[in-house]
Structure 1
């Protein structure tokens, strides 16, 4: 019987976990001695996080705290696309970090070309913000999973719908 197997490569972020990570980071910042009296804030919007602080050192420390909380909540820090640090009013600094949800067309093509270059006998198909991998052997699919995990595409990837 010539059955085929498939799975999807996705980049999904659980927004409830992001909210929890932001709240934990805010709690840690409020309790830390080096942030006493500081005007540091983290604001979660729909698909981005705005971080505001009084100097660049505290801003970078806040970003590191937030990344640590992401890891503790099971979210990859690669899910954050941190923008350029801007100066704000009264000598403060701010940065906007976008939450990457879904695989962009460019990243999907990059992953697709890497899989094709490996000569593993599978078919790849870009479906909106995910990538479907189909093959006749489960071993080939496992090989593709290993290949994608080994390469760094600068996005958080998950493997779902393994059939």
Structure 2
């Protein structure tokens, strides 16, 4: 019976490359001359550090544009609500989401069931498995999920016929 998995993953190498590109762009920008500002990446958490709060927003925009250039979906990031102020520096953490959260998984399963397609969707940890009798039904589910505006990017892999 044909099946495929719905996952939400971020390529860690591309994230590292986009952070490196953002650091390079930061060193060439005129408005960041003689300013202590940097991007640091540790375990898919990027820490932005700058001397002023408005510079953090500019740095976030720089990082987003670098991510788009490296084909990393900007919907995969989650920005911490509070900025951290220590001494003369401000910092902000940006996390990259790996896996589909339980709430979103249930929402996707409900969307599939509401369409009354002849497929079954099951939650398996941080991914979903969709099975059906016909390959066309599975491709219909893929098209429906691509068209849906979800808060997290989805990839489809492990397609078995």
Match of 1:150 in 2: 147
CA apart distance, 1:87:
4.3
Match of 1:70 in 2: 67
Match of 1:9 in 2: 6
Is the contact made by 1:10 and 1:158 (CA closer than 8 Å) also made in structure 2?
Answer: yes
RMSD, aligned α-carbons:
1.3
Runs of 4+ with deviation above 6 angstroms: none
Q: Report 1:11-90 matches (<5 A).
A: 11-90=8-87
Q: Which runs of 5+ in 1 are unaligned?
A: none
> TM-score, with normalisation over the residues of structure 1?
0.92
1:139 aligns with 2:139: no
CA apart distance, 1:138:
1.4
Q: Which runs of 5+ in 2 are unaligned?
A: none
Match of 1:92 in 2: 89
> TM-score, with normalisation over the residues of structure 2?
0.93
Partners of 2:14 and 2:44 in 1: CA distance:
13
1:124 aligns with 2:124: no
Deviates more, 1:143-152 or 1:84-93: 84-93
CA apart distance, 1:47:
2.9
Is the contact made by 1:111 and 1:153 (CA closer than 8 Å) also made in structure 2?
Answer: no
Number of matched pairs: 160
1:162 aligns with 2:142: no
Partners of 2:129 and 2:84 in 1: CA distance:
42
